[in-house]
Amino acid sequence: MQEEYVHVYNEKEDAGDDTPDPGSQNVPAAATKDWAEELLSDPKNRLALLTLSSNPINECLSTPSTVVRDRQIFNLRIPFEGAPVTNQRSSGRCWLFAATNVFRVAIMQRYKLKEFELSQAYLFFWDKLEKANYFLESILDTVDEPVDGRLTKSLMASPVGDGGQWDMVKALVIKYGLVPQTLYPDSFNAKNSSAMDQIITTKLREDALRLREMSKSNTLSRSTISKTKANMLHEIHSILTLMLGPPPNPSEEFKWTYYDRDGKYHSLKTTPLDFARELSSSNTVRACGGADVHRLFSLVNDPRNEYSRLLTVDRLGNVFGASAVTYVNTDSNTIKHAAIEMIRKGFPVFFGSDVGKQSDRFKGIMDTSLYQYELAFNIKLGMSKAERLISGESAMTHAMVLTAVHLEQGKPVRWRVENSWSEAAGTDGYFVMSDSWFDEYCYQAVVDPSCVSEELRKVLKQDPLVLPRWDPMGALA
């Protein structure tokens, strides 16, 4: 038997091999010493070493002029911003907070309120249950797909993740309505959702494998499988009830007592469904500049795909059988024009973006010139928006609300953003977004049909282009 051996590098023996082979597939270890010496021969890089190796990178590379320029001053803003500033805590419920922050403006105008929050936890409860059902139905519908195939893995990856989309919250409101937060406040697990999500995800993955196995049996009827799935859903409901608390019934009357902004006491008896229908009442629509939240739809900027095209994502949703999640794909300038028109109407704008890029949560700034990475590391970062989507570098990660814009010669310069990270983030909870950041990292804005052209409204009638479940447009904010 040939003896195993380890070759030990001998510096003297291989002294002539220091020059790296350009065709080699290996890291040229011998050359890295020269690389380091060359790098640190420049005083700028020696200073960078002293600074970057001992401090948080973004604190070192923040551009002071950008911070000074991005001020909370705007010449066009909605007349009424919702209050108080909300806080999603340690959860991924930004889309529910952004949506209810839009909804509440209409309700606050309707009932003349100084401060008000809708219950995000109420929608959160029903969203988890609906996502569990949607997942189990998707598993039953894809039993012929290989268990290790890309579609099945995509479905299994995050069956009940906290994120969502505008059309998903619309489906929840249609089916379950809305309630004031005082009637169903956040529980600990609404504020800190990871443990609950982990338990439900583990249970659903186990259930999915069982349903796939049952579906391939020749002896089990569809009725038996459906009963098993119903029992699985019952178990998920039990977990949610124990961790979030039992929510109000959508059709049962609740009593809401409140003071209006003049300090006058009021009492209202209604159901969650009827309370949500108030958003489309003539009084509410008139108070919101003619915008009806039930008619709002999503514009997206996806430069990989054709503009003036309706898009959807395969098997993306929460309420099974509800309308599909759809987006009207258009250029960034069209989205900005529509958002400005919404603000002119006095109505806030739900939008989705990649919030982690070139942003500072403490200063509350999102600007493409905020951090000088290229200067610090002697590199060029030049991917286009389409290339970032293709490579997985960027996607919608967070939903927030636009409430103001600063215009110069009719063009936007910066935007005021209502976040849901508490008053400790940004300026009392509000951020400034530069217009260049909007172009690069904003993907979606939800607007009223009256704020876009007739040509773009017609896109809503198209048969949508169906993107695969793993497409970045399927990312949930």
Query: For the segment 141-168, what is each residue's pLDDT rounded down to a tens digit?
Result: 999 999 999 999 999 999 999 999 999 9
Catalytic residue among 101, 189, 301, 419: 419
Clarify whether 288 is annotated catalytic. no
Query: Pairing between strand 398-408 and 411-418?
Result: antiparallel
Which of residues 374 and 24 earns the better pLDDT score?
374
Q: Is pLDDT of 18 > 70?
A: no
Backbone angles phi, psi at 39, to 5 degrees: -60, -45
Clarify whether 398 is annotated catalytic. yes
Catalytic residue among 189, 318, 398, 451: 398
What whole-number distance in Å separates Cα of residue 72 and Cα of residue 415?
9
Q: Is pLDDT of 287 > 80?
A: no
What whole-number distance in Å separates Cα of residue 420 and Cα of residue 400?
7
* DSSP type of residue 17: G
Mean pLDDT, the chain, rounded, equals: 94
Residue 13's pLDDT is: 46
What whole-number distance in Å separates Cα of residue 89 and Cα of residue 123?
16
Per-residue pLDDT, averaged over 196-201, amounts to 98
Mean pLDDT lowest among 15-24, 170-179, 216-225, 449-458: 15-24
Per-residue pLDDT, averaged over 407-418, amounts to 98
What whole-number distance in Å separates Cα of residue 160 and Cα of residue 442?
25
Clarify whether 26 is annotated catalytic. no
* DSSP type of residue 263: S
Residue 289's pLDDT is: 67
For 286-306, b where at least 16 C-beta lie within 10 A, e where not — what string? Answer: ebbbebbbeebbbbbbbbebe
Per-residue pLDDT, averaged over 275-289, amounts to 78
Residue 292's pLDDT is: 79
